[in-house]
Amino acid sequence: MFGEAQSAHLKRVLNTGSGPFNPLKLHPAFRTGGWHEVRLDIDARLNPDLVGSVFDMRALVPDASFDAIWSSHNVEHLHTHEVLPAFRELRRVLKPDGFALITCPDLQAIASLVLEGKAEATIYTAPAGPISTLDMLYGHSQSIASGGVYMAHNTGFTADRMARVCLDAGFAEVRTTKGGFFDLWALALMPEARSERLEAIFAGTEQRALTQ
């Protein structure tokens, strides 16, 4: 099911909403050579390993089959009613000692920009071009206008909401922090995840603080 895949000594990470293949888009913790990436995306044109939505992966991914999940700017594309089922799917596909590393726009930080009167202001420049407050809130308008309908944002997360959703989905523990470019980060842990293993995985990355 997972292509050439399965060297027994490699840990497996599911990259949800992976976009086009780009090794540099994988979090540095998973670029060590000890990981095998499996890409999941809803857009078949991007040639992912698995075509589908994180909302329901039951036909694609067996229970407890991944060591980790990397979810970068994916969960904000879900509709609100899809959020809890999707997070339950993340938990379902992880091994008992696994974890999910999730990043998405920080709704609280973005709201502060709106209150400052900066709704249409360019906040930073990404490879896709200038990013405004409205782009962070609703999705990159130029990408959507060019036909990237899946780029629209349909929900949002604060640190409190992220933590509550993860726990409601069945994760044993969740740790959150703020990042650059108005991002929110979360590390959602399965019951047998161990801090010493996580510290080794994230050593040298900005997310090491989530492991302590």
For residue 1, is it within any domain? no
Question: Which candidate, 102, 94, 69, 74, places its Cα nearest to that of 207?
Answer: 102
- Predicted confidence band of residue 32 (pLDDT cuts 50, 70, 90): confident
pLDDT above 70 for 8: no
pLDDT band with cut points at 50, 70 and 90 for residue 9: confident
For the chain, the domain total comes to: 1
Query: Residue 75 belongs to what domain range?
Result: 11-105+157-211
Domain annotation covers residue 127: no
**Mean pLDDT for the chain?**
94
CATH number of 16's domain: 3.40.50.150
State how far the Cα of 66 lies from the Cα of 99, in Å rounded to an integer: 9
Instruction: Summarize pLDDT for 190-211 with one digit per residue, the tens.
Output: 999 999 999 999 999 999 999 9
What band does 3 get if pLDDT is binned at 50, 70 and 90?
very low
Give residue 5's pLDDT.
44
**Residue 4 forms part of a structural domain:** no
124 within a domain of the structure (yes/no): no
Neighbours of 191 (CB within 10 A): 11
Number of Cβ atoms within 10 Å of the Cβ of 8 = 4
**What number is the average pLDDT over the span 64-70?**
98
pLDDT of the residue at 4: 47
Rounded Cα distance between 152 and 96, Å, is 33
44-66 pLDDT tens trace: 999 999 999 999 999 999 999 99
Determine, yes or no, domain membership for 206: yes
Length of the chain: 212
Mean pLDDT of 59-83: 98
Distance, in Å, from the CA atom of 94 to the CA atom of 66, rounded to the nearest integer, reads 5
User: With 80 as the cut, is the pLDDT of residue 212 above it?
Assistant: yes
Tens digit of each residue's pLDDT (9 = 90 or more) over 132-159: 999 999 999 999 999 989 999 999 999 9
> Is residue 147 situated within a structural domain?
no
Has residue 196 been placed in a domain? yes
pTM: 0.94
Is residue 149 domain-resident?
A: no
CA dist 30 and 90 (Å) reads 17
In the predicted model, what is the mean pLDDT of residues 163-191?
96
